[in-house]
Amino acid sequence: MKNRALRRVALVAAVASTSALVLAGCSGGGGSASGGDGPVTLTVATFNDFGYTDALLKEYMDAHPNVKIVHNKAATSNDARANYFQKLGKTGLADIEAIEVDWLPEVMEYADLLAPVPDDLKSRWLDYKVKAATSSEGNLIGYGTDIGPEGVCYRSDLFAAAGLPTDREEVAKMLQGDWSTYFAAGDKYVAATGKPFFDSAGGTYQGAINQVEDAYENPDTGEITATENPEVKKIYDQVLKASATQSAHLGQWSDDWMAGLSNGAFATMLCPGWMLGVIEGNAPEVKGWDIANAFPGGGGNWGGSYLTVPSNGKNVAAAQELADWLTSPDTQIKAFENAGTFPSQTDALKNETLLSNTNAYFNNAPVGQILTDRAEAVKVSPYKGTFYFQINDAMQKALTRVEDGTQDAATSWQQWVTEVDALK
Amino acid sequence: MTSTLERPTRSAPAPAGARQPRRIGFGQRRSAWDLKFSPYLYISPFFILFAITGLFPIAYTAVISFMDWDLVRNSGHFIGFDQYAWVLSQPKFWVALRNTFSIFLLSSVPQLILAIFIAAMLDQNIRAKTFWRMSVLIPYVMAPVAVALIFSNMFGDQYGVVNTTLQNLGLPAVPWHSDALASHVAIATMVNFRWTGYNTLILLAAMQAIPREFYEAATVDGAGKVRQFFSITLPSLKPTLIFVIITSTIGGLQIFDEPRMYDQYGTGGADNQWLTVTLWLYNIGWGEWNFGRAAALAWILFLIILIIGAMNMLVTRSLVRDEGGRDQRSRRERRAQARAAKQRLAADAARLSTPTKEARR
Amino acid sequence: MTAVTPAPVPVIDRDLPARGRRRTRAVRGSRPGWFVYAALGAVLLASVFPFYWSLLIGSGDASTVRDPNMSWIPGGNFLANAAAVMGDPAVNFWPALMNSVISSGIIAASVVFFSTLAGWAFAKLTFRGGPWLLLFVVGTMAVPMQLGVVPLYILFSELGWTGQLGAIIVPALTSAFGVFWMTQYLRQAVPDELIEAARVDGATSFRTFLTVGVPAARPAAAMLGLFTFVSAWNNFFWPFIVLDRQNPTLPVALSLLQSNYFVDYSKVLAGVLLSTIPLLVLFVFAGKQLVSGIMQGAVKG
């Protein structure tokens, strides 16, 4: 028994010493050779799906034999965000790091830690894409990749049951106009079927608030103006009034909302290009989804990404070359073909492959053309300062409280005002 | 049949004594040093490793709680207790505290009772022991993504399984994601699902150490299973019960994963219905990047945990001790018998070393 | 050398009158009734049910998770999904599995060893400052560690250890939880008399630990090892931050399956179930250590 115990201790000691050997022997992750024309390993970190397949990256590697590209994907964009800010300015970021447009307000505070995009490239992208990522010193710190121009996705079968037009041209005509036009169509639908017209107040509000130039903050002083801005109150009231009868009250990305995509809980939705895959995936057996070339208020954009090059990386010049190539119009079109990521480059918007692209699930809609039209219809690049997302999240919660029935519109607004005031 | 309590004095180790004093002297010196310093040696690996990888994060969190800290630039300026004051002045803090306590009570209390009960059953002489015992741990190993998926499917407000079943039975649907208490119940269910088996096995391991003979003697004396449980099992379990209660308190007041997984945003609900203190802490730190403020909240929570933990421990100590009536007697008995057994062993040793003594049996 | 530990307990046996001894044997041999099995059955059902649900989704296809009329019989796709997960080049399954096994194994062994050692000292040895040090250990458990990744990362990037398995192993080599548990367990499981007896026989402190403490600790040590292994195995955030994508642990590798706007949950859950299999194997080994009457066994041997 004594021997058994001793043997057990010896085993543990053996494990411990083996581990020491393992730790010592584990050579660290590759450091790439220093710049110049010697062999270079570039790491590219993305999330979701940018369309950068191995075949695509191989094209670059074939053209640049001294470059090896290692492509890392993060699990979700939230994880990627935590990782990004944890390591920005320190070691550990890839040579090229993808960021999402929602992170920009925070990224812009650290614009000095990112290598600026050469000035001559700036005309490559849409105006609002460039403006959002330009620092106060005038440096563009991100190579734009994709954008999320929105149309209106609708269920033609549910429209038919309500006596509304089903052909996408006619639907576009019906929805042409501003938000009151959209809600008027909604009233017609609800009167005919008694079922909700759109998925949530939150999603609808988002489409509307993104059309307001300086919704929450003063771009020159950074002061918070959200609670005094009459536009914000107007949109809040309008959306909630319509939501009372037209909203399915399903918070976006919730389990219930994903079920709603297939069970007909709502008839329309504000739809960026990347949402098409989500709808198809969640409602594969539904035949009625279609997309109309219209958007209340003209144009809307939801989402989009950039590639950034941390300025303390080991291969900044080589990384910038690669980022340049990855975000060139031709490469972006190829990425679009791989993953449906809609290009943000003005030249790409004229590309035949893009314009002739159709989507079989959405009743063979010419999504390339539709989304291009919608992208060009976006006139406003809303200013998003440091507090934008805190204020907007608080607003989303305020809307949800009313949708849940927890509070009425006036009380919820008051609570939002109190929360925003605490930020000042 | 010979009572072992009688000791013939013949077996006193007189012959062995001639050799022993020299041996004892040497052993005494070594054992004195041994006794005095070896404890520190045994606990030092923990403290050394803790000093390297545990102390630094704690110190860091403490220091930045007094600063306006920029994570990226790894710098900040000192602002004293401002972060603490801000946290305590927020209505959100008190809401989060309320939620935390509510979920803590709804989860820890049923969990503990259930764990003791299940452990007591698993302690018995059931067939296929290993299968039954390890099956309670299966919920603990389910990966978070699976747990989140299954439970959000179950507790969906409109199309979830629970509400659909309730409605099929003619009962009203429960607003799981808008009513605060309903959300606490759902989250507590998730927590209990995950941790009950864990605590069960901790208690079971402790129950395994209780000598079976106590139960047999008690059964012979006519005590039923329930009486045995309260008079033998629970008092013997006291150190482990204290352990389970303290760790449940600490864990319960720090509940984070389940409220975070409860909806798609991870922010604790539109009206902070299920926002716990650690969830708020995480969102202030990793959401708003205000690490100084998050650190202040962490230390406030630490103080709260210390206070509640101390309270719980005192309560446990007084509660369990009162049950130990029967146990005292058998412990005294045990000591007497241990002393007797020791003397017998010493006698055997002496006997073996002097072969002239005849064997007693 | 004499046998170390006399047993106080068997003495009771011999003291009983013959009639009582027969009844004792009958008592020891009795099996619990149907109520116990029914209750345990209910517990089994509740524990396994969500796991089974995962299997249903993992053996279907991408639309199964949303299907309101999902069948209760597993579909036939599990092996296909599992093969897809294991073969996916982005997921890097086998190296990740190896990394997880090595790191979790080392962590579990180390935690058990150091916790038992420290627990023995706190429980059975008296030394100055003992109670206060134990209180300190417990107190460290009360500090919320959500922010801890940040300073840890700073520390390890200074040391140049990012990307190496050592970065996830070293911070986890001991745990306050383990020390506290072994302390409380040894307090109740080891009668002081046994230690006295050992000391009388001239055993050193360490030998006493080996011959009395280690065998006594077996059930709790097995459970501690199992729990530590599982928690190290499932740990996501710290390995995600500190390791390279090329050298991940299993949860980090499998999380790649969720990196799209539309997630195919059948593959995700198939991957999750795959990563649970090694843990279930470990269950069997650890479960066998939950043996009662450890001290009697140690004595008779």
| Per-residue confidence (pLDDT) for residue B164, from 0 to 100 | 92
Task: Specify whether A183 is located in the same domain as A297.
Answer: yes
| pLDDT surpassing 60 at residue B1 | no
Task: Specify whether A119 is located in the same domain as A255.
Answer: no
Q: Which of residues 178-217 of A touch C (CB under 8 A)?
A: none
| Per-residue confidence (pLDDT) for residue B191, from 0 to 100 | 95
Alpha helices, DSSP H only, in A103-219? 104-109, 127-132, 156-161, 168-175, 179-193, 201-209
Side-chain half-sphere of A272: how many Cα atoms within 13 Å?
Answer: 21
Tell me the mean pLDDT in the region B71-100. Answer: 94
Do the Cβ atoms of C119 and B277 come closer than 8 Å? no
* Subunit contact B38:C121, Cβ cutoff 8 A: yes
| Per-residue confidence (pLDDT) for residue A197, from 0 to 100 | 96
* Subunit contact B152:A406, Cβ cutoff 8 A: no
| Per-residue confidence (pLDDT) for residue B179, from 0 to 100 | 94
| Per-residue confidence (pLDDT) for residue A309, from 0 to 100 | 97
Tell me the mean pLDDT in the region B10-38. Answer: 57
Do the Cβ atoms of B66 and B83 come closer than 8 Å? yes
Q: Please name the residues in contact with B107: beta carbons below 8 A apart, sequence gap of 6 or more.
A: B187, B188, B191, B192, B195, B252, B255
User: Which uninterrupted H or E stretch holds A291?
Assistant: strand A289-292
Tell me the mean pLDDT in the region C155-168. Answer: 91
Euclidean distance between CA atoms B235 and B241, whole angstroms: 9
Task: Specify whether A113 is located in the same domain as A61.
Answer: yes
Question: Measuring CA to CA, how many Å separate A403 from each of A202, A240, A246, A396?
Answer: 9, 8, 11, 10
Euclidean distance between CA atoms C234 and C250, whole angstroms: 8
Taking phi over 0 as left and psi of -120 to 50 as alpha, with beta for the rest, B55 belongs to alpha
Find which of A87, A252, A255 to mutate to test the B interface (most B CBs within 10 Å of its CB): A255
**Residue B48 C-alpha, separation from nearest chain A C-alpha, in angstroms:** 16
Which two structure tokens, joined as six digits, stand for B274? 């299920």
| pLDDT surpassing 50 at residue C14 | no
Residue B85 is which amino acid?
A: A
* Subunit contact A89:B160, Cβ cutoff 8 A: no
* Subunit contact C127:B61, Cβ cutoff 8 A: no
Give the one of A110, A250, A390 whose C-beta lies nearest to B288's C-beta. Answer: A390
Q: What share of chain C in percent tops pLDDT 70?
A: 87
Subunits that touch chain A (at least 3 Cβ pairs < 8 angstroms)?
B, C
DSSP B203-265: HHHHHHTS-HHHHHHHHHTT--HHHHIIIIIHHHTHHHHHHHHHHHHHHHHT--HHHHHTSSS
| pLDDT surpassing 60 at residue C49 | yes
Q: Is B352 on the interface with A (CB under 8 A)?
A: no
Task: Specify whether A163 is located in the same domain as A224.
Answer: yes
Q: Which of residues 29-48 of B touch C (CB under 8 A)?
A: 30-31, 34-36, 38-40, 42-43, 45-47
Total H helices, total E strands in chain C:
17, 0
The model's confidence at residue C220, banded by pLDDT at 50, 70 and 90, is: very high
Task: Specify whether A134 is located in the same domain as A279.
Answer: no
pLDDT digits (tens, 9 = 90+) for C231-279: 999 999 999 999 988 889 999 999 888 888 788 899 999 999 999 999 9
| Per-residue confidence (pLDDT) for residue B335, from 0 to 100 | 66
The model's confidence at residue C180, banded by pLDDT at 50, 70 and 90, is: very high
Q: Is A393 on the interface with B (CB under 8 A)?
A: yes
| Per-residue confidence (pLDDT) for residue A297, from 0 to 100 | 92
Q: Is residue A365 part of a domain?
A: no
Burial degree of C10 (CB within 10 A; 0-12, 13-18, 19+)? middle
How many domains does the structure of chain A reveal?
2
> Lowest-pLDDT range, A133-142, B53-62, B168-177, B314-323?
B314-323
| pLDDT surpassing 90 at residue B278 | yes
Q: Is B258 on the interface with A (CB under 8 A)?
A: no
Q: Which residue has the higher pLDDT, B171 or C295?
A: B171
Do the Cβ atoms of A273 and A149 come closer than 8 Å? yes
Burial degree of B94 (CB within 10 A; 0-12, 13-18, 19+)? exposed
| Per-residue confidence (pLDDT) for residue A270, from 0 to 100 | 95
What residue segments make up the domains of chain C, in order of their start? 89-300
Tell me the mean pLDDT in the region A305-324. Answer: 95
| Per-residue confidence (pLDDT) for residue B329, from 0 to 100 | 44
Give the one of A90, A249, A253 whose C-beta lies nearest to B264's C-beta. Answer: A253
Euclidean distance between CA atoms C73 and C169, whole angstroms: 41
| Per-residue confidence (pLDDT) for residue A5, from 0 to 100 | 56
Under DSSP, is residue C120 helix (H, G, I), strand (E, B) or coil?
A: helix
Residue of A230, A338, A208 lying closest to A274 (CA atoms): A338
**Residue B36 C-alpha, separation from nearest chain A C-alpha, in angstroms:** 23
| Per-residue confidence (pLDDT) for residue C71, from 0 to 100 | 83
| pLDDT surpassing 90 at residue B16 | no
Give the one of C30, C138, C227 whose C-beta lies nearest to B246's C-beta. Answer: C138
Euclidean distance between CA atoms A259 and A253, whole angstroms: 10
Range of the domain at A407: 149-301+373-423
**Residue A76 C-alpha, separation from nearest chain B C-alpha, in angstroms:** 12
pLDDT digits (tens, 9 = 90+) for A66-95: 999 999 988 788 889 999 999 998 888 999
Q: Please name the residues in contact with A318: beta carbons below 8 A apart, sequence gap of 6 or more.
A: A35, A40, A42, A67, A95
Under DSSP, is residue A254 helix (H, G, I), strand (E, B) or coil?
A: coil
Tell me the mean pLDDT in the region A112-130. Answer: 93
Task: Specify whether A323 is located in the same domain as A399.
Answer: no
What distance, in Å, lies between the first and last C-alpha atoms of chain A? 70
CATH of the domain at A411: 3.40.190.10
| Per-residue confidence (pLDDT) for residue C80, from 0 to 100 | 93
Q: Give CATH for domain B87-323.
A: 1.10.3720.10
Do the Cβ atoms of A74 and C259 come closer than 8 Å? yes
Looking at residue A136, what DSSP letter applies? T
Phi/psi of residue C135, nearest 5 degrees? -60, -40
The model's confidence at residue B211, banded by pLDDT at 50, 70 and 90, is: confident
| Per-residue confidence (pLDDT) for residue A264, from 0 to 100 | 92
| pLDDT surpassing 90 at residue C115 | yes
Q: Is A404 on the interface with B (CB under 8 A)?
A: yes
Do the Cβ atoms of B342 and B7 come closer than 8 Å? no
pLDDT digits (tens, 9 = 90+) for A23-47: 444 444 344 444 446 899 999 999 9
pLDDT digits (tens, 9 = 90+) for A342-357: 999 999 999 999 999 9
State the ipTM, two decimals. 0.86
Euclidean distance between CA atoms C239 and B107, whole angstroms: 29
Euclidean distance between CA atoms C200 and B24, whole angstroms: 10
Task: Specify whether A156 is located in the same domain as A110.
Answer: no
Phi/psi of residue C298, nearest 5 degrees? -65, -35
The model's confidence at residue C17, banded by pLDDT at 50, 70 and 90, is: very low
Q: Quick one: CATH architecture of C89-300?
A: Orthogonal Bundle (1.10)
Bridge-based pairing of strands A67-73 and B67-70 is: unpaired
Residue of A154, A184, A359 lying closest to A261 (CA atoms): A154
Q: Is A413 on the interface with C (CB under 8 A)?
A: no
Longest dimension (CA), chain C: 76
What residue segments make up the domains of chain B, in order of their start? 87-323
Tell me the mean pLDDT in the region B263-285. Answer: 94
Task: Specify whether A97 is located in the same domain as A136.
Answer: yes
Estimate the crossing angle of helix A409-423 against helix A388-404, to 10 degrees. 160
Alpha helices, DSSP H only, in C142-175? 149-159, 166-169
pLDDT digits (tens, 9 = 90+) for C65-111: 888 778 888 888 899 999 999 998 888 899 999 999 999 999 999 99
The model's confidence at residue A15, banded by pLDDT at 50, 70 and 90, is: low
The model's confidence at residue C197, banded by pLDDT at 50, 70 and 90, is: confident
User: What's the CA angle centered on C51, arms C49 and C52, to 5 degrees?
Assistant: 65
pLDDT digits (tens, 9 = 90+) for A357-378: 999 999 999 999 999 999 999 9
> Lowest-pLDDT range, A172-176, A321-325, B211-215?
B211-215
Q: Which of residues 90-119 of A touch C (CB under 8 A)?
A: 90-92
Taking phi over 0 as left and psi of -120 to 50 as alpha, with beta for the rest, A118 belongs to beta
pLDDT digits (tens, 9 = 90+) for B86-117: 999 999 999 999 999 999 999 999 999 999 99
**Residue B173 C-alpha, separation from nearest chain C C-alpha, in angstroms:** 17
Q: Is residue A390 part of a domain?
A: yes
Under DSSP, is residue A343 helix (H, G, I), strand (E, B) or coil?
A: strand
